[in-house]
Structure 1
């Protein structure tokens, strides 16, 4: 009986061992497959060689602009106007008034134009006539005058240019009063002019300058004996 049991145990053990060996022989080892998508062997996203420019001969490549040319001013259908600072304009006017306070009455008249009639004296001449010429001695800005002789209007409106212009006046015996009346003060003011009076031989009888406000006159008298 014991011999039978021992024989059975040996056979069972042998079957178990053989089953384990058989199982090892039937196992299949699967080798790792190398992926074609390996990052190290993947194709570069960019070409490894530069593009041959010869293939682009007929293609115009636009140039790069390194800066943007933006308009400096916005377009407007209306004319542009520049407005000054009201504070600065007020300050300039105050300074101008203070400067005027520092000037004498004569200096102020020369700067802003005399508001009283100017008398340049009387001169003697035995000639038959005199030539009277005048011009704007300052900036030509549209100054205009009227010329009167013995209160008669000889030239009603004369534009003062940079060159001399004038008229011939026949002298009467006694006083010959010549008035130059300022009709305006031009664009910059005052009415500025230079005049000369010469006799019939070309000798200068009188010459002077004026700075007049509008409506003010300058007078010179030629006395014929």
Structure 2
């Protein structure tokens, strides 16, 4: 009885094993289905090529005419070395002359404004006095006018400041010519060098008196002649 049961178990196991093998051999393979690739429907933009034609410009299908600015470049090139400049001194002198011409000043008025550029001679006078007093002052605005006084070309007053009051020196007269020079050393702050002088003898008699308007370096001269 035990032998018969064992035989049935063995046959059942063999049949089950063969069934599994047949089922594996008879399986059907399902082929893989390839998925469709996505299609990019976005329109592609192709960059436009630059237009090298500088004469006519095209915008789409419209022709745009060239516009002229009407401004032409200067034909003459600027050169610093090619230009000629005037003398600043000559330009200033010309402007001054033009201003004087416009104001129509007389020569006397021009001299009074700028001072005489030539030596002034105020004459010669006779005197039998032993001495004279020579005095001078600034007849205009006291602005620092300076003079030098010479007698017969010898310096007797080296540097004199002209103020509003008369001051001077005593001069012993020599027989013959006694030349007195008043030399303008400057023109003060406002110019010209302005002064008034007087020559009075030892008896109180006025020998000579006058005024000057001098530029720097110009002199005024009088001569006293003693017999």
TM-score using structure 2 length: 0.56
Matches of 1:94 and 1:173, distance apart in 2: 50
- Higher-helix-fraction structure: 1
> Could you tell me which residue of structure 2 aligns to residue 177 of structure 1?
179
Matches of 1:155 and 1:207, distance apart in 2: 19
Structure 1 gap ranges (5+)? 1-92
1:152 and 2:120 correspond:
no
> Could you tell me which residue of structure 1 aligns to residue 17 of structure 2?
none
Q: Deviations over 1:56-103 (max 9, x none)?
A: xxxxxxxxxxxxxxxxxxxxxxxxxxxxxxxxxxxxx99975452212
Q: Who wins on radius of gyration, i.e. which is larger?
A: 2
Question: Aligned match of 1:124 in 123, 126, 139?
Answer: 126
Matches of 1:190 and 1:175, distance apart in 2: 29
Deviation of 1:109 after TM superposition, in Å, equals 1.1
RMSD: 1.7
Q: Deviations over 1:141-185 (max 9, x none)?
A: 000000000000000000000000100000000000000000000
What pairs with 1:19-34 in structure 2 (closer than 5 Å)? none
Structure 1 stretches of 4+ with a deviation exceeding 6 A read 93-96
Structure 2 gap ranges (5+)? 1-92
TM-score using structure 1 length: 0.57
> Could you tell me which residue of structure 1 aligns to residue 192 of structure 2?
190
Matches of 1:181 and 1:204, distance apart in 2: 22
> Could you tell me which residue of structure 2 aligns to residue 10 of structure 1?
none
CA distance 1:94–1:174, change in 2 (3 Å): closer
